[in-house]
Amino acid sequence: MSTQTPRTSKTRVRVWTVDGSRTHPHADHLATEEPLEIRVLAGGERRTVAVTMRTPGADFALAAGFLFSEGVIGSRAEIRRITYCVDPEIDADQRYNIVNVELRAGALPDLATLERHFMTTSACGVCGKASLDALHLRGQAAVPPGPAVSADLITILPDRLRAGQGLFDVTGGLHAAGLFDSTGNLLAVREDIGRHNALDKLVGWALLDGRLPLHDHIILVSGRVSFELVQKALAAGVPIICAISAPSSLAVSLAAEFGMTLIGFLRGERFNLYTGRERIRTASCPEDARQRT
């Protein structure tokens, strides 16, 4: 199951930089943005379940992570194989922008949970209560207690994530999602022009590598955190999710509902702790906060 793609993650362009009264041309790189169509195959049937604008690279992980976080599949074992669509009838320019995920099942699974992806582009769900109810209905469990970590450890994560953003260094235009262990070691980084894609690539990598559930890990995302980002972390069993920017109200509700620790505005030595205070130790409260929630 090769994860390589001939599509490039960065595109070379010629630009003119204006600096005061001076203008000079030079070469630059942009983050590539192209569509990825995700198809599911089972029992002789085929269905397109999503089309997302993404940065090429880790496409198989993106497809697997998307299907897992949306509840279409529940484990790596359900996947027979993942391939690019290189059928002769497909235009050559698009063959590596279509991924087929073949399942072992004898029929296509229920894909009703994916309908909202064809109704909205806000990536914030359709209805808050309906979205939370849907997670309960599909049997999503709350995360276990997980690790208790120091506030000092949390504050060093952004610099470690930034150091792992190789494509951002070249293009300056990509989101990132990073996976850390409970001692702050950066285990993996995935980048994409889309925030949700970056996290899907990360969760998909963990799924395909047999690492799920991630009960003793921390996820950090480079931008704001929405309901869907928390949902993806929850599906992977992550107890602590951090964001450089703000959370949405529904993201906070979801984290509280399922026992997750949600941190936002993580910058320098400061951050806001919205839910799950019991997992974060501070100098003023070094004792286990689980006794004080």
Cα of 36 vs its chain's centroid, Å: 15
Helices vs strands, H then E, count in the chain: 7, 14
Q: Name the residue with tokens 């494509």.
A: 167
The 3-state DSSP composition of the chain as helix, strand, coil percent (nearest 5) reads 30, 30, 35
Tokens of 70: 């949306």
Tell me the chain's radius of gyration from C-alpha atoms. Answer: 20
Residue with tokens 């599949």: 73
The catalytic residue among 85, 124, 242, 285 is: 124
Q: Under a CB-based contact definition with an 8 Å cutoff, are residues 36 and 46 in contact?
A: no
Single-letter code of the amino acid located at 66 = F
Alpha-carbon dihedral 237, 238, 239, 245, rounded to 10 degrees: -140
In the residue annotation, 242 being an active-site residue is answered as no
DSSP labels for 260-271?
-EEEEEEETTEE
Beta bridge partners, 182, equal: none
H/E segment holding residue 157:
helix 151-163
Can you list the alpha helix ranges (DSSP code H) found in 20-58? Answer: none
Token pair recorded at residue 206: 């963990």
Which amino acids are annotated catalytic?
124
